[in-house]
Structure 1
């Protein structure tokens, strides 16, 4: 009985083991990894959304870089301007010092033994009065010369202090610029990889087909719009303002530069330096600004359309102005 019971128990255990034995496909490591990869891989829509978010973040960093570069340019300009002023100020200080030295020497020559002895050494009253007047004149001239010298020295000291401050500011701005440049280069590596996976080197935007010719625009704005149209298809490149590539603010800068209008290379600065207009008054050639804080800009060409350099990996193209959240409109003058 005991042996039979043991056999029954053994068979039961074998049957149970067989029921729970995993199949070969499930235990194959390669198959398991492939299944896991399929489960973890994002869909095309998810990847596209992720690229859009990364591209948006990238453009914000690029515009921050452009802003830092504008700050550095302004600091360098002011440093050079102040440096140019320092030379004449130093020469004026030296001239004032020479004048004062000459007056003091002249006083000594006029009085020989000194003003007090010369004054009281006079034998006649009228000589006393004459010498008193001369001494008063000399003292007044020396006082004015000393005051002028003091003012000249203060100007030189102030200019040197400001020059030192600008130099320190310039060093800080250069460090900030280098840091943002490194951030941009890191973002580019990630974006290139994601775009290669998602689009295989193509665009994430649908082919717009034939673009209708914009309405005729006369005058300066017409030249601006015509320039922008001729840039269609050129690649986006961060920090670029032509002629072969552009970022968003670089394109609008270049377009209005053709009309003789200077704009800074930064979207937010362009908005701050131009006349704001309502949407109901927007005309071809005006600028359209997006997001808050402002980090993208396009050139309005009429019919609710704009030309812009959209993002890394894309080319200058025509898009609806409502494709992104609008902050405002402005007209360079």
Structure 2
């Protein structure tokens, strides 16, 4: 009887184990990423990359100005070096003419000194200095001070150039990182879902835009670029970023704009939204990091992002900041 009970318990235990195993859910296949979640993340990455891109454009403008200033300072320092050499030679000749009662070694130290500061210090300790023309000595001291000022300015500008180059590298790295992550997220979606994200936005077929004067040339150029690629830092002819597109469009009208959305915001008078006309530049986000061109009927043409490229969008498809009328 005992052995029968053991066999029953064993059988029931085995059945429970089988049933239990059957009830354990199998590991589900990895779920596809939620489209809305990926959409929000990709949009955020593109926006962060564009912010970095516009900071990169600003830094390029700053580097251009700094480099120009540095060249001017270096040329000015060179001229000051030459002036100092002339005055030093005059002082040395005066020492030879007026020297009396000093040892040959002290005169020699003054005459062969290559260090302007040391030259001035040695000269001031010579008793012969009392007999020298004080104006000549003052001239030399003044020229030496001017040279020091120029050297300091040059060194400061050199440091600024170096720092700006580092900033450029950092912003470029941010752009590349965010773009790579956005592409990776898109790559995880099925083809249909990815296409839905890539083709999102209020894209419309380019139409004839009524514009007059110089604005007509700018609008015509911008509209002709619809469908082209978005590339950070690009300004045509085959790809653009947002400020590169507006810069090149207004260049067709003879208006020079900087390659920077924030800098373009200061390129002309600010226009109320109710007064917008085709050709006006419209700006987005705070701080400003995107610019497009108004084309009428509540629409803009803009280089949107690497997925959408150059397209026509609604005026308020992004956080609107204000508008400027170039020229």
Please state which band the TM-score falls in when normalised by the shorter chain: 0.7 to 0.9
Structure 1 stretches lacking a partner, 5+ long: 114-138
**Offset from partner CA, 1:185-239 (integer Å, 9 cap, x none):** 2222222233344435983325835333111x22222222222122222211111
Q: Distance in 1 between matches of 2:53 and 2:203?
A: 26
Q: Distance in 2 between matches of 1:100 and 1:85?
A: 23
Aligned residues: 294
Q: For 1:37, which of 30, 37, 49 is the aligned residue?
A: 30
Whether the 8 Å CA contact 1:195–1:201 is kept in 2: the answer is: no
Q: What's the secondary structure of 1:189's corresponding residue?
A: helix
Q: Distance in 1 between matches of 2:236 and 2:298?
A: 25
Q: What's the secondary structure of 1:78's corresponding residue?
A: helix
Q: How far apart are residue 332 of structure 1 and its match?
A: 2.4
Q: Distance in 2 between matches of 1:218 and 1:209?
A: 22
Aligned pairs for 1:130-209 (under 5 A) are: 142-196=133-187, 197=189, 198-199=193-194, 203-205=198-200, 208-209=203-204
Whether the 8 Å CA contact 2:204–2:311 is kept in 1: the answer is: no
Q: For 1:55, which of 8, 26, 46 is the aligned residue?
A: 46
Q: Which residue number in structure 2 is paired with residue 135 of structure 1?
A: none
Aligned pairs for 1:220-231 (under 5 A) are: 220-231=214-225
Q: How far apart are residue 302 of structure 1 and its match?
A: 2.0
Q: How far apart are residue 319 of structure 1 and its match?
A: 0.9
Q: Which residue number in structure 2 is paired with residue 214 of structure 1?
A: 209
Q: Distance in 1 between matches of 2:8 and 2:61?
A: 88
CA RMSD of aligned residues (A): 3.1
Q: Would the alpha carbon gap of residues 94 and 26 (structure 1) be closer, same or farther in structure 2, given more than 3 Å must change?
A: same
Indicate whether 1:293 and 2:287 are aligned. Answer: yes
Indicate whether 1:233 and 2:224 are aligned. Answer: no
> Larger Cα Rg: Structure 1 or Structure 2?
1
Q: Distance in 1 between matches of 2:240 and 2:91?
A: 59
Q: How far apart are residue 107 of structure 1 and its match?
A: 8.9
Which segment is superposed worse, 163-172 or 174-183?
Answer: 174-183
Q: Which residue number in structure 1 is paired with residue 123 of structure 2?
A: none
Q: Would the alpha carbon gap of residues 193 and 17 (structure 1) be closer, same or farther in structure 2, given more than 3 Å must change?
A: closer
Q: What's the secondary structure of 1:274's corresponding residue?
A: coil
Q: Which residue number in structure 2 is paired with residue 72 of structure 1?
A: 63
Whether the 8 Å CA contact 2:268–2:326 is kept in 1: the answer is: yes
Q: What's the secondary structure of 2:22's corresponding residue?
A: coil
**Offset from partner CA, 1:274-328 (integer Å, 9 cap, x none):** 3222212222222111011111111122222211110123321111110000111
Which segment is superposed worse, 1-10 or 71-80?
Answer: 1-10
Q: Distance in 2 between matches of 1:148 and 1:221?
A: 58
Q: Would the alpha carbon gap of residues 313 and 81 (structure 1) be closer, same or farther in structure 2, given more than 3 Å must change?
A: farther
Q: TM-score, normalised by structure 2?
A: 0.77
Q: What's the secondary structure of 1:211's corresponding residue?
A: coil
